[in-house]
């Protein structure tokens, strides 16, 4: 019998971590193989479903960092540890992890855009022998919207990590003040030679200007990768909501090289 590609299966919630008032991380039991940068469809019967990026995964679990912004997420925030949630996936092409091996990696991410790149950052942190220097520029709107505080502190301790944490318009101890794009110029691209890649994820406006900042600093377009995870909808290319010209973001992405991604303007 053929598997139904849109049939969700029930999974138990193992834990819930309240990151902020509006964003919680749900740890859900999972045995489905995952690649960094992919997403799943989370649903509740008679309520609806929503595509959610995977913010972390390990043996027997997957993490979903969810912002309370609509009907489905409002209901998700009523759930408790031990309750069940329905999942289908994984979907999408993730970050080019193999292409990063042996290279320096620059990551520019903003707000909830840190979620779809968090598991990859963890791999870079845990496996310094596989990668070069890692430069993180991570930004949030204000101190009340900071996600993954324990991981942010942990990443600062790695010898091969160079981190800039910034808030848009707030002075806060240990943090810079300003947009993530303001700090791209401080990355020593000249020291990398050709042996590096850049990853960008966040709100569309932030991604556009972050890519521009990288290009202004002589980063070749083919060394920039972007995630269009905010465009996800049905995940299998049937509803058409993620279609931009002839590209179905859910099938061909959500991660694209900038040489392709720069054309995905809708």
Radius of gyration of the chain (CA): 18
Task: Quickly tell me which residue has 């999942």 as its tokens.
Answer: 87
239 is in an annotated binding site: yes
Contacts of 108 (CB under 8 A, 6+ apart): 137, 138, 180, 181, 184, 198, 199, 200, 201, 202, 210, 214
Coil, strand or helix: which one is 259?
A: helix
DSSP per residue, 90-125: EESB---HHHHTTSEEEEEEEGGGGHHHHHHHHHHH
Contact partners, residue 35, CB within 8 Å, separation at least 6 = 90, 94, 95, 97
266, 248 contact by CB (below 8 A): no
Using alpha carbons, select from 29, 191, 187, 190 the residue that is nearest to residue 199.
187
Residue 253 CA to residue 231 CA, distance in Å, equals 10
Per the annotation, does 250 bind a ligand? yes
Joined together, the tokens standing for residue 243 give 């279609």
Picking from 31, 48, 36, the residue whose alpha carbon sits closest to that of residue 85 is 48
Detail the residues annotated as belonging to a binding site.
234, 239, 242, 250
Detail the residues annotated as belonging to a binding site for [2Fe-2S] cluster.
234, 239, 242, 250
């Amino acid at each position: 019998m053929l598997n139904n590609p849109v049939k969700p299966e029930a999974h138990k919630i193992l834990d819930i971590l309240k990151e902020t008032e509006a964003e919680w991380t749900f740890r859900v039991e999972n045995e489905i193989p995952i690649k960094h940068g992919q997403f799943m469809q989370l649903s509740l019967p008679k309520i609806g479903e929503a595509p959610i990026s995977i913010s972390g995964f390990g043996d027997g679990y997957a993490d979903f960092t969810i912002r309370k912004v609509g009907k489905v997420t409002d209901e998700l925030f009523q759930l408790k540890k031990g309750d069940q949630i329905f999942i289908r996936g994984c979907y999408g092409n993730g970050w080019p992890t193999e292409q990063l091996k042996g290279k320096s990696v620059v990551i520019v991410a903003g707000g909830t855009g840190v979620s779809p790149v968090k598991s990859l950052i963890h791999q870079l942190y845990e496996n310094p022998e596989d990668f070069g220097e890692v430069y993180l520029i991570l930004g949030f709107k204000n101190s009340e919207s900071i996600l993954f505080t324990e991981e942010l502190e942990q990443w600062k301790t790695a010898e091969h990590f160079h981190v800039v944490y910034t808030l848009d318009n707030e002075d806060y101890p240990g943090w810079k003040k300003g947009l993530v794009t303001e700090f791209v110029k401080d990355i020593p691209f000249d020291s990398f030679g050709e042996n590096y890649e850049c990853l960008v994820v966040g709100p569309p406006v932030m991604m556009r200007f972050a890519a521009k900042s990288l290009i202004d600093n002589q980063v070749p377009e083919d060394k920039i990768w972007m995630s269009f995870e905010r465009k996800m909808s049905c995940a299998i290319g049937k509803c058409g909501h993620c279609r931009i010209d002839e590209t179905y973001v859910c099938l061909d992405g959500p991660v694209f090289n900038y040489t392709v991604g720069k054309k995905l303007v809708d």
